[in-house]
Chain A
């Protein structure tokens, strides 16, 4: 249940660490796993100055506004078979304008709701789906 001002851990290698939600794209008040949000990067990994231009431009800086996909929520989610699942933190992966993951790797477990909502590229990058 991610809404305005909700903080999420960013679990891809785009360079961001913490993001804050500023808008839920579906128009609802809160986003769940598998929903797209717009977020601001609150903390990012320092970009290595030795890094070449192209790789450096792909990394994200603090203050960048990006679209993101919520992959884990602390609020329990109902599965269609009556199960409930909840994680210990809120997490997201950043997306580019074409709704594809910005980073090249996803680090950590993601919810199976992504598959249900057809985020196939993100699912293929995920090391573990619960």
Chain B
């Protein structure tokens, strides 16, 4: 009923529009800027998962954030419902930026064997990500430091002392 009423009223109204009116009409109508649906969904997911500010740590503009070559400490819950945590510390050798699937790989030498772990940044099991040491500006000229698997140099020498420092700080708390 309403549709037909509006149709008839529309048909009765004058429909001729001159050029000047056309240009002003298009300028005055406020159309919403079109946003990519996937970008919107990703942004919403990240906002929901980013309850402790971890996305700022991985922002490219953050000088204090995680970058390839920085020493990072990650605390993870041992299971979905558990409160007990396990920690892993290592040099960040790769950051894979894919919105909600952003992940980073840490490498460390444990008992003379190299161990690499890849963590999903927005996983609810990741309790805490902390940067222990910034990368030395001069040496790191790559985004992915896979060459450290063959030529570690002195990169992993300082990790033990950093670990002990971290343990001391934890005990003092």
Contacts and interface: CB of A to CB of B under 8 A. Distances in A.
Given A85-B116, A85-B117, A127 B123 contact: no
Contacts of B116: 76, 85-87
Nearest to B101: A82
B115 A82 contact: no
Given A88-B149, A130-B88, A83 B113 contact: no
Nearest to A91: B113
B119 interface: yes
A72 interface: yes
B110 A128 contact: yes
Interface in A44-74: 72
A76 B118 CA distance: 9
A80 B39 CA distance: 28
A85 B125 CA distance: 15
A82 B76 CA distance: 11
Contact of A83 (B110, B118, B149): B118
Q: Interface size class for chain A?
A: 10 to 19
A60 B123 CA distance: 45
Interface in B115-142: 115-120, 123, 125
B110 A84 contact: no
A72 B111 CA distance: 13
A81 B76 contact: yes
A108 B123 contact: no
A106 to B, nearest CB: 11
Interface in B78-114: 79-80, 88, 110-114
B117 A83 contact: yes
B118 A109 contact: no
Given A81-B123, A83-B76, A88 B118 contact: no
14 contacts: A76-B118, A81-B76, A81-B80, A81-B123, A83-B76, A83-B118, A83-B120, A87-B113, A87-B114, A87-B115, A88-B115, A108-B113, A127-B111, A130-B115
Interface of B: 76, 79-80, 88, 110-120, 123, 125, 149
Interface of A: 72, 76, 81-89, 91, 108-109, 127-128, 130
